[in-house]
Amino acid sequence: MKKHWYDYLWIFSSVYLALGFFNILFAWIGLICFITPLLISIIRGSKVYCNKYCGRGQLFELLGGKLGLSRKKMPPKFLRSKWFRYGFLTFFMAMFLLMIYNTYLVFCGTTLKEAVTLLWIFKLPWQWTNTSFVSPWIAQFAFGFYGVMLTSTVLGLVTMILFKPRSWCVYCPMGTMTQGICKIKHRKAACGGANHVGNSAE
Amino acid sequence: MSPIKKLACIAKDCVACGRCVKECPVGAISVYKGLYAAVDKNKCIGCGKCVKACPAGVIELMAREAETA
């Protein structure tokens, strides 16, 4: 099958994660992965970002599929349930807002915490990166945002190993949010106007 | 009647990730308006590749007669 440029976006995701170890300020680049899917779903009303351009999904596919690091077992049913997906999205967004609030506190004069929070609990010391040439709040956002990205990668890797390579896609907060936006945009189709079981997409 | 006995059917809780679209060898699946994956039953050859690939486990192969009945 013919490869496209976007089939190599897993390189972008891998480089992004690596860059964070050299200088945390590179974490800001990750905003692309937040803003792009949202804009696509809002403007075009589609999940084309998940379908084609998600580098993280491609990375899991590569590690779990081609490199065989996944057990390739069926994930538990609750993972795809509306309650779990939207619950996880709510929790993820609450943690994201908390991170923004911490950035605001540093902006107001609180001391910068040079640590990356993994899985919302573990504080990993990250003092080796030089952030002295930017305002403390810029560095604080980078630490917080990198924590969000690292946490989602770790969760994705765990579910990749335990279940299917792209199990993360099932409960990915961005995927849930963009699908929710598409549901709002295409209300009629989402409310059972189209029976998609075995039917063609028109 | 189609000589192909099986047909991929996608349940309502599809997450529209598009993994099945990539896997389908005949291009029978597309993501409909970012809502769910939809199968073109005229194209589907019932190979089951999408069933294996689906990370949510929402695709299953059904007998064509049962689905169309």
Partner A contacted by B2 (CB < 8 A): no
The two three-digit tokens of residue B48, written as one number: 């089951």
- Per residue of chain A (202 residues), give pLDDT as tens: 688 999 999 999 999 999 999 999 999 999 999 999 999 999 999 999 999 999 999 999 999 999 999 999 999 999 999 999 999 999 999 999 999 999 999 999 889 888 999 988 889 998 888 888 999 999 999 999 999 999 999 999 999 999 999 999 999 999 999 999 999 999 877 775 444 554 444 4
pTM of the model: 0.89
Number of neighbouring beta carbons within 10 Å of residue B26 = 11
Residues of A in contact with B8 (CB under 8 A): 198
A200 closest CB neighbour out of B13, B34, B42: B42
Q: Please give, rounded to a whole number of angstroms, the shortest distance from the CA of B51 to a CA of chain A.
A: 10
Question: Would you identify the CATH topology of the domain B6-68?
Answer: Alpha-Beta Plaits (3.30.70)
Domain spans of chain B, in order of start: 6-68
Q: How many CB pairs under 8 A join A and B?
A: 124
Q: Percentage helix, strand, coil, to 5, in chain B?
A: 20, 25, 50
Q: Please give, rounded to a whole number of angstroms, the shortest distance from the CA of A194 to a CA of chain B.
A: 10
Residues of B in contact with A82 (CB under 8 A): 13
The two three-digit tokens of residue A135, written as one number: 């305002």
Is B61 in contact with B46 (CB distance < 8 Å)?
yes
Q: Which of A37, A4, A70, A184 is nearest to B22 (CA)?
A: A4
Alpha-carbon distance of B19 to B34, in angstroms, equals 13
The two three-digit tokens of residue A4, written as one number: 């496209």
The one-letter amino acid code at A67 reads L
Q: Given phi > 0 = left and psi -120 to 50 = alpha, else beta, which region is A176?
A: alpha
Compute φ and ψ for B30, nearest 5 degrees.
-140, 155
Please report the pLDDT score of residue A202 as a whole number. 41
Please report the pLDDT score of residue A8 as a whole number. 96
Is A190 in contact with B46 (CB distance < 8 Å)?
no
Q: What are B29-68's pLDDT values in tens digits? A: 999 999 999 999 899 999 999 999 999 999 999 988 755 5
Mutate to test the interface with A, among B17, B54, B61, B65 (most CBs of A within 10 A): B17
Number of neighbouring beta carbons within 10 Å of residue A125 = 9
Is A190 in contact with A158 (CB distance < 8 Å)?
no
Q: Do A175 and B39 touch (CB under 8 A)?
A: no
Residues of B in contact with A57 (CB under 8 A): 17
Q: Do B17 and A170 touch (CB under 8 A)?
A: yes
Q: Please give, rounded to a whole number of angstroms, the shortest distance from the CA of A159 to a CA of chain B.
A: 10
Alpha-carbon distance of A121 to B30, in angstroms, equals 39
According to DSSP, the β-strands at B36-39 and B29-32 are antiparallel
Q: Do B17 and A50 touch (CB under 8 A)?
A: yes
B9 closest CB neighbour out of A57, A80, A198: A198
Domain spans of chain A, in order of start: 5-188
Q: Do B38 and A196 touch (CB under 8 A)?
A: yes
CA distances from A72 to A10, A164, B23 (A): 20, 4, 15
Three-state secondary-structure class, residue A117: strand
Among the residues of chain B, which ranges form H helices?
19-23, 49-53, 64-68
The secondary structure element, H or E, covering residue A125 is strand A122-125
Number of neighbouring beta carbons within 10 Å of residue A5 = 7
